[in-house]
């Protein structure tokens, strides 16, 4: 007997039709000045970090496009929009802050390959993608979430020996893809004393730390709830630090320029 899909879900056939009907872009989806944010382990807080980066860019007058690729049930950004603008092509549209555009997946999908292609906003100064899927799910996929060229790969990890081991595995895959020079690491839930943390880290993590590409999230806002209000001040400071690092790497390509902390043109 046929069953009705639960609210917020499509059947696989309907999802495939949505993907096929979504606006096509140059392959793979060429997103402008892309910062791809992924969690190396469960509970790392990647959505919080993605929003902090996007909020910092928006506060600095950069035209910012935030894409939440997680399904509605798993989304960490479901309440991030200040204004909801409806649904189109499998995405829920919204706005936040001074002019940030937020696109969130509208329906549940069983795997990343059934996530519709996002729209490309050619006027965007920065596109931030919260991948919203585990690294193992992404490793098994060749969808746009994985294949879209990125200016920055932001890996978010919890502190602790086991979590750092998982992040080292993620970094190894990025290193194998010759992407390590574009990687930033954010450590959440870190202890007050960072010495033991770095001692437990792997060689790629330590290399990035020596390059100044490892950032520690403020302890007092780790795991803070995400709503339509602006990110807390300490998280905006972290977001600006990530933004500056991305701008340094992208400026040689003419991709992104910022004048000073919190200001951009």
Q: In the predicted model, is pLDDT for residue 3 greater than 70?
A: no
Instruction: State how far the Cα of 57 lies from the Cα of 125, in Å rounded to an integer.
Output: 9
Q: In the predicted model, is pLDDT for residue 7 greater than 60?
A: no
In percent, the amount of the chain with pLDDT more than 90 equals 64
Instruction: State how far the Cα of 183 lies from the Cα of 212, in Å rounded to an integer.
Output: 11
In percent, the amount of the chain with pLDDT more than 70 equals 80
32-253 CATH, one of 1.10.357.10, 3.10.20.30, 3.40.190.10, 3.40.50.300: 3.40.50.300
**Contact predicate 35/128, CB 8 Å:** yes
Q: What residue has token string 């992924």?
A: 38
Q: In the predicted model, is pLDDT for residue 155 greater than 60?
A: yes
**Contact predicate 98/133, CB 8 Å:** no
Instruction: Report the pLDDT averaged over residues 174-184.
Output: 95
Q: Which residue has the higher pLDDT, 231 or 24?
A: 231
Query: Mean pLDDT score of the chain, rounded to an integer?
Result: 83
Q: In the predicted model, is pLDDT for residue 128 greater than 50?
A: yes
pLDDT reported for residue 51: 96
**Contact predicate 107/10, CB 8 Å:** yes
Tens-place pLDDT, residues 69-125: 998 888 999 999 999 999 999 999 999 999 999 999 999 888 999 999 999 898 999
pLDDT reported for residue 198: 84
Q: In the predicted model, is pLDDT for residue 247 greater than 90?
A: no
Instruction: State how far the Cα of 120 lies from the Cα of 172, in Å rounded to an integer.
Output: 30
For residue 172, which of 202, 216, 217 has the smallest C-alpha distance?
202
- The mean-pLDDT minimum among 5-14, 26-35, 98-107 falls in 5-14
Q: Which residue has the higher pLDDT, 204 or 32?
A: 204
pLDDT reported for residue 221: 60
Contacts for 12 with CB less than 8 Å, ≥ 6 apart: 110, 114
Residue spans of alpha helices (H) in 93-154: 135-139, 144-147
């Amino acid at each position: 007997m046929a069953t009705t899909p639960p609210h917020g879900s499509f059947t696989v056939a309907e999802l495939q039709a949505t993907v096929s009907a979504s606006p096509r872009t140059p392959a793979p989806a060429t997103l402008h000045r892309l910062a791809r944010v992924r969690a190396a382990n469960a509970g790392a807080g990647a959505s919080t970090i993605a929003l902090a980066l996007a909020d910092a860019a928006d506060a600095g007058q950069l035209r910012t496009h935030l894409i939440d690729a997680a399904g509605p049930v798993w989304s960490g950004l479901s309440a991030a929009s200040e204004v909801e603008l409806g649904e189109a092509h499998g995405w829920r549209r919204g706005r936040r802050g001074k002019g940030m555009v937020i696109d969130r997946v509208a329906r549940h999908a069983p795997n990343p390959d059934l996530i519709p292609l996002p729209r490309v906003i050619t006027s965007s100064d920065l596109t931030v993608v919260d991948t919203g899927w585990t690294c193992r799910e992404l490793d098994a996929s060749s969808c746009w979430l994985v294949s879209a060229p990125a200016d920055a790969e932001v890996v978010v990890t919890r502190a602790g020996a086991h979590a750092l081991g998982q992040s080292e595995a993620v970094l190894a895959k990025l290193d194998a893809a010759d992407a390590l020079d574009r990687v930033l690491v954010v450590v959440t839930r870190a202890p007050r004393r960072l010495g033991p943390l770095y001692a437990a880290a792997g060689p790629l993590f330590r290399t990035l730390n020596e390059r100044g590409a490892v950032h520690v999230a403020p302890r007092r806002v780790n795991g803070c709830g995400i709503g339509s209000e602006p990110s807390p001040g300490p998280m905006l400071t972290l977001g600006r630090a990530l933004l500056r690092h991305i701008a340094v790497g992208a400026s040689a390509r003419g991709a992104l320029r910022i004048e000073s902390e919190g200001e951009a043109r």
